[in-house]
Structure 1
Amino acid sequence: MDEAMDGDAVCQQLQDNAYDLILLDIRMPGKSGLEIMAWLKETGIDSQVIIMSGHSDYRIVRQAFKLGACDYLKKPYDVDDLIQAVGDKVLERRQSRSRATTDWSNPLKGELFRRTLDHLPELVFLLDERKCFEYLNHKVESLTGLPAEELIGQPLSRLVHEDDIAKLPLFFERAEAGEPITQEIKLKTHSGGVGHKDFEIILTSTLGVNPALAQANFSPEDPPFLGIARDITERKQTLELMEFRASHDSLTDLPNRNLFMDRLRLAVSQARRNGQKFAVLFIDLDNFKAVNDAYGHGIGDQLLQKVASGLKNCLREGDTLARYGGDEFMALLPSLDEKKDAATVARKLLTSLETPFRFAGCDLRVSIGTSIGIALYPENGDEAETLVERADMAMYAVKREKKNGFRFYS
């Protein structure tokens, strides 16, 4: 074992003698440790290098590994750790020399591994320090419509949808810290036109700054980032459909009673805070049971769908129309300036039902009217349940008097 106190002396020793292992500090007088490693690479001197440094900077450590370091000890280090690292690397070097003369299958392993990756259902990729693709398995073509060869050397952002580009800086920053990070990101697709799919991407740095990496079998040629992308488009669509069905009526696709009450409570909270007015309309079809009995539930369901479409077309974008149950609908009209504005909407709703409804496949026309009760916030109540109850009372007053009209609660 020999010792040298500065960079120039290290180079001289290496020219004069052959060493299995070099313990090299990154900072030293004369040439730095990184400069010596670059010189080793240029001259072709075959020695393993363990670097020692007080640096925890990811980029400096990565540069050392890129130049050929086989291990890393962070100062101050424990002497037992140093002895263990030296012993491991000397044994590893001897075993490597033995394998080089006996293992004829090594040249095939990389190709077999890549073929295995190509048959995975996920997209697997490696990124260099510029966040550009250095490797992609062939799954990228079936998932995005672009061949791997076209993307090599291109940045990951080339594939990311514009809506999610802003997620990338923090995504990489967290991955560089050494822990695998999972993020939902939209990737652009080019199959049958430009579109996008939803992916769950796991990104990890092949070299973090945590101490555990000192025991990793790290190759100096490994790119800094490994990513695995799983297509979750169908899963997300299924979840979104389930959430939609839980909050919407299956026949009309309108919000159901639960969603309507949630929106009404939110409207109460906002109006109370901002000093606004709004209206709740209880809409009940007249003589709907007679239509069902006369023509059957199939025609009855079609009629409810046509009525729902007509009523919805009368409302503003920010209003809510819900199917409350059976032949009952509810409308929420937020941010009303005057009581007469609610009356104007009620007249539009009544007018939308004046023309008889026709049904495909049969020579049938059905006319139906509706009774509408209106409750105003805060005039008729300051709680969601109270407003619904009083709009209901106003609606029944219309049914008792004449039907097919509207009335305010009083």
Structure 2
Amino acid sequence: MHILHVSAVTNWGGGEYHIENLCSELLTSNPEIKNTVLCVEDSPFKERLSKTKIQYITAPLRIKIDLRYVFKLGKICKKHQISLIHIHDPSALQLTIIADKIYNLPPFVLSKKTSFPIKDRKKTLFKYNYSKIKKILCVSNETKNVAKKAIVDKNKLLTVYHGTNLKTKSTKTPFLIRKKYNIPNHKTIVGHIGNHIKAKHLETFINVVDRIINIEKHTNFIFIQIGTFSERTDALKVKVNQLNLQEHLIFMGYTPQASNFIPQFDIALMTSQSEGLPQFIYESMYHKTPIVSTDVGGISELITHEVNGFLAPIHDADTLTAHLLKLNNSTNLKAQFISKSYKILLAQFTTENMARETVKIYKSVLKDA
């Protein structure tokens, strides 16, 4: 069995981390299965893969539909006798369908990693209901439920939680946050990892900082945000300056091995307005950092409110603020959230479980092909 993992993402995010985790796990658990990743040349993902044992091939993608990428995909399938194509993002899906029209490719498995509704447009519905897609692997039950509205054959939809890779964990970082930014030990570090995209809604993150610092007057907090900058970043920085929060909120930008910094956070804060199931939640659970989050996507499938974390409605900075303050003032709550989250993670949400379930699906698809 030779699986081609297709990624057409030009930055680094949770989806690419999933591909790396899956392929790394399969190298150990199922060495008889060969995995090759097709990724965009000169991308952060390519740089990341170059430091692993994962086999990868790059292709140019300068425009949305770059035929050089399409031709490369088709030629790889023929040359390497690919058994099955695992598509990991919407752009990759479109490019793979175009390649199929030219090369008649092997069957597809598609990963649906967000809870964004599939748009009710003819071309979009055609893509997601394409006949070569044999199974759609949803990152959470919520993602599956959202996808049901657009997928004709509901039997194609399966939930496969991504989980975290216990074999690759590290706390090694090039610097310590407290030391680099001169943060006293008595100050609470609240951290977030996520690229500057609409789904993460960092406007809410800033609103929480504003309430804690300017309204509640709790200046014993420092907020750290790690993630790739985008066209949204300038507006976020302007808002920070307008609220005089420059000394209280630090944007670190893209940072390699970002999850290694999580143990340096006292509290993990998610403010997303849309999610599948963010890797940041898994990683915080593993690194024993208590979590406060908006209740979106599949997050409530990992975090039960007031049992192993705090949840709040989207855009609700007031409730998130109250949760942060309550958690920061309770040693017992922190210990409870950390202990319960860690046990849940090890029992259900590891890459070992993810790989096992994914291999079953690969085999069933190829058996029926």
- TM over 0.5, yes or no? no
The structure, 1 or 2, with the larger RCO (C-alpha pairs under 8 Å, 6+ apart) is 2
Give the TM-score taking structure 1 as reference length: 0.18
- Please, what TM-score do these two structures have when normalized by structure 2? 0.20
Higher gyration radius (CA): 1
